[in-house]
A and B are shown apart, each in its own frame.
Chain A
Amino acid sequence: MATTAMVEEKVVYQRPESLESIPTHYCPGCTHGVAHRLVAEVLDELGVRERTIGVSPVGCSVFAYKYFNTDGAEAAHGRAPAMATGIKRIMPDRVVFTYQGDGDLAAIGIAEIVHAATRGENFTTIFINNAIYGMTGGQMAPTTLPGQRTTSSPVGRDVELTGFPIRMAELLSGAPGAAYVVRRSLHNVKEINRAKRAIKTAFEVQLAGLGFSMVELLSACPTGWKVTPPEAMDWIEQQMVPYYPLGDYKIADGVEQLAKRR
């Protein structure tokens, strides 16, 4: 009879506990899955899953509450920051985050996000900027680039008629209550790693009670952009990054000490 040698296996990769083990509805090449995983890894690493409440938006990530293994609510379109305000004001010791797309946050919900940031509401917003309305089939978003073709800008976004795309990280960096506002990207491994560090800092800012924190993530929508997933990654780097520069837009007093402590 053969003996089985017990080989000690080292886990190098596994599903975070904060992420459910279910299929998502996201398209191939969409970076929502990457963003979800980064948030879930951060919640695990900070040990806060059991006291976290997530607020999902209307848009492609409408079912985010199904994918995160935390308590969750589904907000009306654009209203996640208002809902998060209500939750956090009642339960200041819980970790509260909104997960919002660009139509949700930068169009219909711009009042809610601006005023939540202005009040310094102590929650974290993960802002997915993919320059398009994905869920409804690829219409022009407030973040759609000049000349970009969408189903509602079929010959390309004409800035004479529609204005220029809105830069939310820059805009919210002016809010007095915002403690941490940065833009990162998900188009390659290096940027994904940088994005994760920013997400972690954003949640740490909340845990330290420093005020509003937001990480804007440049994201891919190959279906809406009508390109292949690899082309979508290139498109982020070549088209989006020049208009939406990556960087730190608001680092309030006390944030750098948090990063050093880590």
Chain B
Amino acid sequence: MAVELMKGNVALAEAAIRAGVEAYFGYPITPQTELLEHMAKRMPELGRAFVQAESEVAAINMVYGAACTGARAMTSSSSPGISLMQEGFSYIAGSEVPCVVVDIMRGGPGLGNIQPSQSDYFQVTRSAGHGDYHAIVLAPASVQEAIDLMVEAFDLADEYRHLVFVVADGLIGQMMEPAELPAMKPIRRPRGDWALTGADGREKNIITSLELNAPDLEELNNRLQAKLAHIREHEQRSTEMLTGDARLIVVGYGTSGRIAETAVKQARREGMKVGLFRPISLWPFPEKRLSALADQVGAFLVVEMNAGQMLDDVRLAAGGQVPVTFYGRTGGMVPMPEEIYDEIVTQYNKLTTSAV
């Protein structure tokens, strides 16, 4: 495969196709619509299912139906549309069928705007719908990583029969970058033995999230939580830079993590021992590695394009061992590297002062 210049939304769509997605259902919303448009063209060409739904509510329930047949199915949207899909997320998690959802987040609350934002970290990492569960959430920081994580998202969804999010923002969705797509994977057959394919020569299969008997529903929850505990143990993903001797570590994901990288490099050039920790899985949050780093570092500086959401997870992982401070922009404002650099200088100076 050759490196080519690709828009993030298109790259996500084509990566899903290469990963063997059999059905896409979606509804137009900026800034993810190019993903839907690419699917509108490509899926019928390949003889796969594409439906532009009447709403995000319908789209996620079409995904739910397709996923019940054991097919790789997905949708994509942006913040307000993700709010509408929450009902479906919960049913999908409760009935344990695999699917992938792309959320190209925008500024909120309400209709907000269409500028890049990370304002829905809580929404996707906490439960993504009613009930008691977490979805797997992956956050790329480049078009190439978006492609790689999109493919991985389908594998994780299938492995755990669970809901997997790939979350980015309009910056990654709209930006063109050189990237390389994987080879086309064959469509997976046969279906899982749990799938709805017709009870031909076997007992009937039922897919439901309904269990009226409390002890039975608790047992179902215990099974779901055991699966999530396994995911939490085995699927934490992160990357880091210059953390070895760092006294201050900047923590940022996706776009904010990438901007912070520039600021961290500048701080290093100025002789400051600063590193970068970039979570790739937002759930499970890479708490194990961050916890280990808390033993060796003087402080964490969390950078997000929101008012401080991942901040809570960093504080939990740091366990009160070191100070955790925050720098964020909201409303679709993207921080400049200089702003983050200035905050690094402020926080770094506090460390050196307190050390004296």
Contacts and interface: CB of A to CB of B under 8 A. Distances in A.
Nearest to A92: B49
B66 A90 contact: yes
Interface in B1-37: 22-23, 25
A115 B54 contact: yes
B61 interface: yes
9 contacts: A65-B208, A74-B206, A83-B68, A85-B65, A86-B49, A86-B66, A86-B67, A89-B49, A90-B65
Interface in B186-215: 196-201, 204-210
A54 to B, nearest CB: 9
A128 interface: no
Contact of A87 (B66, B204, B209, B210): B66
Q: Which interface residue of A63, A74, A87, A90 has the most chain B CB atoms within 10 A? A: A90
Interface in B41-57: 49, 51, 53-55, 57
Interface string A58-81: 000011011001111111100100
**Which size bracket describes the interface of B in this complex?**
35 or more
A79 B199 CA distance: 23
Contact of B64 (A50, A70, A83, A94): A83
Contacts of A62: 210
Contact count band on A = 35 or more
B208 A74 contact: yes
A87 B69 contact: yes
Given A73-B196, A86-B65, A90-B66, 12 more contacts: A52-B199, A53-B198, A71-B205, A71-B206, A72-B196, A82-B53, A85-B58, A85-B62, A86-B23, A86-B64, A90-B73, A95-B198
Contacts of B51: 85, 89, 119
Interface of B: 22-23, 25, 49, 51, 53-55, 57-59, 61-69, 71, 73, 87-88, 91, 95, 196-201, 204-210
Contacts of A83: 61-62, 64-65, 68
Q: Is the interface of B mostly helix, strand, loop or mixed?
A: mixed
A237 interface: no
A73 B68 contact: yes
B61 A76 contact: yes
A72 B208 CA distance: 8
Contacts of B87: 76, 79
Contacts of B73: 86, 90
Contacts of B201: 50
B169 to A, nearest CB: 28
Contact of B199 (A71, A89, A112): A71
* A interface majority secondary structure: helix
A192 interface: no
A51 interface: yes
Contact of A72 (B49, B61, B204): B204
Given A86-B62, A86-B67, A90-B69, A73 B206 contact: yes
A50 B200 contact: yes
A75 B62 CA distance: 10
A105 to B, nearest CB: 14
B88 A76 contact: yes
B69 A50 contact: no
For the complex of A and B, list the 3 residue pairs with the smallest distance between their C-beta atoms, beginning with the closest: A86-B65, A82-B61, A83-B65
Q: Which of B57, B63, B71, B87 has the most chain A CB atoms closer than 10 A to its own CB?
A: B57
Interface in A22-63: 49-53, 55-56, 62-63
A90 B210 contact: no
A90 B23 contact: yes
B196 A53 contact: yes
Nearest to B67: A86
Contacts of A252: none
B61 A86 contact: yes
A63 B69 CA distance: 20
A75 B65 CA distance: 9
Nearest to B87: A76
Contacts of A82: 53, 57-59, 61-62, 64-65
